[in-house]
Homo-oligomer: A and B are copies of this chain.
Amino acid sequence: MTQPIPLHRDDPSKAPLVGNIKVTRQDWLNVAKDILISDGIEQVKILPMSDRLGVSRSSFYWYFKSRQDLLDALLDHWQQTNTAALVAKAGTPAQSVTQAVTFVFHCVVNPQIFSIPFDFAVRDWARRSATVRAVLHASEDARIAAIQAMFQRHGYPEIEALTRARILYYMQNGYNDADLQEPLEHRMKMVPHYLYGFTGRHAPQHEIDDFRAYCQAIQTGDTP
Contacts and interface: CB of A to CB of B under 8 A. Distances in A.
Contact of A170 (B43, B137, B175): B175
A217 interface: no
A39 interface: yes
A171 B166 CA distance: 13
A140 to B, nearest CB: 8
15 contacts: A39-B128, A40-B42, A40-B124, A40-B127, A42-B42, A43-B128, A123-B176, A124-B124, A127-B177, A170-B174, A170-B175, A173-B173, A193-B200, A194-B197, A200-B202
Interface of A: 39-40, 42-43, 120, 123-124, 127-128, 133, 137, 140, 170-171, 173-178, 190, 193-194, 196-198, 200, 202-203
